[in-house]
Amino acid sequence: MSTPNPIRVDIVSDVICPWCVIGYRQLAKTAEKTGIPIEVHWHPFELNPDMAPEGENLREHIAAKYGTTPEASREAHVRLTELGAALGFEFNYTDDMRMVNTFRAHQLIDWAEDAGKGHETNAALMEAFFTHRRNLNDISVLAEEAAKIGLDQDAARTMLESGEMADIVREKEQFWTSRGVTGVPGTIFARQHFVSGAQGEENYGRILELLAKEVA
């Protein structure tokens, strides 16, 4: 089943959220398999809004935040790595990997959205963090990632240094949290159907097929 018009999909997400990667990849794969086109828009959510500028060791952070043991953390990373590989994404976890604050990353994504490259930027930053373990709180790193997808590197750096997008992004974060979004991914289909978490290809298929029938 297919529909001539893409189904709008809004995803509240953080680029350092592994389940946001998995959920989007599952959704994209389902859209491709079913032939039902989607149009994805990303919205900001910070998993760690109070994170120090230098970040924290990922394993230590997870242990402190969720009480996860080192063994459970390793098992989770193995599972995520396997899930990612099946979806064409490389999770490259290491013992020295660091968790960082992503407020600047969200500013870059929002800025890129105005140039029609928000989706590409979000994808690039997910890969930068999970595959290449780059520091997404570093302005130089973010500007380099912007350049890789055809955005002006100097303009991106200037924007991040000035903080001109900060208030806009903060307002968007507050918009979603005020509506009850407390974890990510949170996905809204066609501006009305909300689901939480990575749903899996089967569930995404049911959702897309139902919405395609409604459009038809």
pLDDT digits (tens, 9 = 90+) for 40-98: 999 999 999 999 988 999 999 999 989 999 999 999 999 999 999 999 999 999 999 99
Q: What is the pLDDT of residue 194?
A: 95
Q: Which CATH superfamily is domain 7-48+55-215 in?
A: Glutaredoxin (3.40.30.10)
Instruction: Report d(CA 143, CA 105) in Å as an integer.
Output: 10
Alpha-helical segments (H) within the chain = 18-34, 58-66, 70-86, 103-113, 118-130, 139-148, 153-162, 166-178, 201-215
Q: What is the pTM of this model?
A: 0.94
Classify the C-alpha dihedral 85-87-88-92 as positive or negative.
negative
Are 13 and 172 in contact by the 8 Å Cβ rule? The answer is no
4-49 per-position pLDDT tens digit: 689 999 999 999 999 999 999 999 999 999 999 999 999 999 999 9
Instruction: Report d(CA 11, CA 175) in Å as an integer.
Output: 13
So where are the chain's domains?
A: 7-48+55-215
Task: State the virtual CA torsion across 159, 165, 166, 171 in degrees, nearest 10.
Answer: -170
